[in-house]
Chain A
Amino acid sequence: MDIILAIILGSLFGFALHRVGATNPQIIINMLRLADLHLIKVILFAIAISSALLFTGLAIGLINPAHLSVKTSYWGVLVGGVILGIGWALAGYCPGTGVAAIGDGRKDAIFFAVGGLCGAYIYMLVYSKFKGSVLLEKILGGKVTLAATPNESFGAIITGIPGVVVALIVALALGVIAWKLPSKSS
């Protein structure tokens, strides 16, 4: 059952990435050099929609909070984000869009994926050196969200206001930004 769900959801994700243009490095690079903000509008709106529905579903008990998976905050998230950002601009691919772009017949994406395997391998070899360093030190207690969730494993920054209210305000803000941003820069 798990495998069937993986095939269905994975295909849907690849399909969606392709349909919004995210597998096209031209569109990624144009977003990053602020020449065409189409894709950032898509990303912000997707986050807004999914977040609003997720927190509403959690609040009315339709979604199992055990399915949530909040990642730890530590300094390496920021530093790793910066390193990823450099490669992202250089290639026009990130891990998900690079993989999906192979299905689009893009040859440069195959080289990206092979490079990705090498990058991940290098990290596997140097990980033991990072262990215990400030890079892997937790921030704000680690697994923490802005809006409170019904999952006890995760802390929340804003307490006292129901998580669904906080999440809906954030989602609304992201949605408005997505709507107001121009597609092409003038």
Chain B
Amino acid sequence: MTGQLNWFKGGILLGLVFLFAVVLVKPIGVSTQFVILDGVIWNIFSQELIEESADSKTGYSSKNAYLNKSGGKYAKNVAHPLNYSFVFVVSMILGAFLSAKTKGPNPTELDRVAPEVWRTKFGEQGLKRYIATFTGGVLVLFGARLAGGCTSGHMMSGMMQTSISGYLFALGAFLAAVPIAVIMFGRK
């Protein structure tokens, strides 16, 4: 179990994690928690973003239409961020850290700024890479929220349940990502 796992062992490990999650609690999802953290930060600066409301299904409402949707589901989680889904995502950082410390694959100092495939093409300069990953982050989370989920929630958890939305999402994501990656980084 040291270093990077081959596809067979890795597939079993990752598959079992997705299975355990749905057996014990619910399917894994990540991208919603970016909205919750945004809400938590926004809530610090605004007194009236989240309100307790007897009329809403969850008991919370928001002046923001997105936080207010589905009976104030997100509004409630912003008011109480110490819930399952949010703690789950924060714990992922811990899990990757533990893997790195227990003989998992380890990046070099240069890798921690930009992967080799990037450095070969665009150089070692950090700023360029950081602007790219920041921009990538904007697109990825905007897209994930429009889609209602990301690679974890739609593609993995979705296709595990044979959800049509999972296939639809995977189609869109690869349809865009493969040509862009080939254009940016070349085939070889």
Is B46 part of the binding interface, using a Cβ–Cβ cutoff of 8 Å?
no
Do the beta carbons of B96 and A18 come within 8 Å of each other?
Answer: yes
Cα distance, A11 to B175, chains bound together (Å) = 31
Q: CB-CB < 8 A to B167: which residues of A? A: 146
Of A14, A69, A82, the residue contacting B92 (CB under 8 A) is: A14
Do the beta carbons of B117 and A30 come within 8 Å of each other?
Answer: yes
Is B72 part of the binding interface, using a Cβ–Cβ cutoff of 8 Å?
no
Most buried by A among B64, B142, B186: B142
Do the beta carbons of B132 and A117 come within 8 Å of each other?
Answer: no
Do the beta carbons of A81 and B98 come within 8 Å of each other?
Answer: no
Q: CB-CB < 8 A to B172: which residues of A? A: 77-82, 84-85
Of B104, B164, B176, the residue contacting A157 (CB under 8 A) is: B164
Cα distance, A82 to B171, chains bound together (Å) = 8
Is B54 part of the binding interface, using a Cβ–Cβ cutoff of 8 Å?
no
Is B162 part of the binding interface, using a Cβ–Cβ cutoff of 8 Å?
yes
Do the beta carbons of B163 and A167 come within 8 Å of each other?
Answer: no
Do the beta carbons of B146 and A79 come within 8 Å of each other?
Answer: yes
Is A53 part of the binding interface, using a Cβ–Cβ cutoff of 8 Å?
yes
Q: How many residues of B contact A (CB 8 A)?
A: 128
1/0 contact string of B151-181 vs chain A (CB within 8 Å): 1111111111111111111111111111011
Do the beta carbons of B19 and A16 come within 8 Å of each other?
Answer: no
Q: CB-CB < 8 A to B147: which residues of A? A: 76-81, 84
Of A6, A68, A99, A111, the residue contacting B161 (CB under 8 A) is: A68
Q: CB-CB < 8 A to B156: which residues of A? A: 43, 46-47, 50
Q: CB-CB < 8 A to B21: which residues of A? A: 9, 13
Do the beta carbons of A100 and B66 come within 8 Å of each other?
Answer: no
Do the beta carbons of A46 and B11 come within 8 Å of each other?
Answer: yes
Cα distance, A84 to B17, chains bound together (Å) = 24
